[in-house]
Amino acid sequence: MTTPSRRRLMRDFKKLQASHCFFTCFLALLVCAAYRGEDPPAGVSGAPTEDNIMMWEAVIFGPQDTPFEDGTFKLTLEFSEEYPNKPPTVKFVSKMFHPNVYADGSICLDILQNRWSPTYDVAAILTSIQSLLDEPNPNSPANSLAAQLYQENRREYEKRVQQIVEQEALISSRIYEGFGRILYVLQSWLSFGENEGELEAKESAENDEELGHDEDDPQMPSASGSTRLDNAGSSSSA
């Protein structure tokens, strides 16, 4: 069923793509940069996963002129039906060494907790996390060692961060292995969210065979997390 939270997430997605480069273009640049040994473009980006608009994957580039520069850090964002009234659960998938990042990747950031506002969207969340990388709050540590080094031995702290950056750079250089699948997912969601009315039309089509689309687009994701191929299979087997 189409819900306010799902409609809001589609708007967030369109805004994020309009505010930055399309995620597909960003991935293409990242792959080309990996082959040429160049720095990837700066910024943030994200998109829903293939079959669930409530679960997002995102990427943050380390800010320039900081120990995190040249780093490519992956995150997940898990939304509930209470979004945007409640914040998503955000975690780093990439290994991190930061005063405000827990061992499991969870992030200690005020806007994700007691200072959350429904006006914040995905772009605001990601840019806030990017800023946090170079502006940690060691007085509210999630990683006590990182916080201690940041305050007492900045050189050692930066050395540890740069080790993480180098490890992530090696992982990012192999991102082309899943590039084709990711392109398909993003193109599907971009087409799927062309306008908010289309979201409800596609959902209605799943429940009414007479409103079905042509079979040339069998894998278009639905707001409920299923695909057209699944529904087509169910109809044919009935």
Q: Each residue of 81-139: pLDDT tens digit?
A: 999 999 999 999 999 999 999 999 999 999 999 999 999 999 899 999 999 999 999 99
Element (H, E) at 74: strand 72-78
The C-alpha atoms of residue 170 and residue 133 are separated, in whole angstroms, by 20
Q: How much is the mean pLDDT over the chain?
A: 76
Measured on CA atoms in the order 119, 95, 167, 171, is the torsion positive or negative? negative
Contact 79, 88 (CB under 8 A): yes
How far apart are alpha carbons 141 and 138 in whole angstroms? Answer: 5
| Residue 108 among the catalytic residues | yes
The catalytic position among 21, 25, 32, 108 is 108
- Reference 204, options 196, 195, 212; nearest CA is 212
Please state which CATH number belongs to domain 4-19+42-172: 3.10.110.10
pTM of the model: 0.66
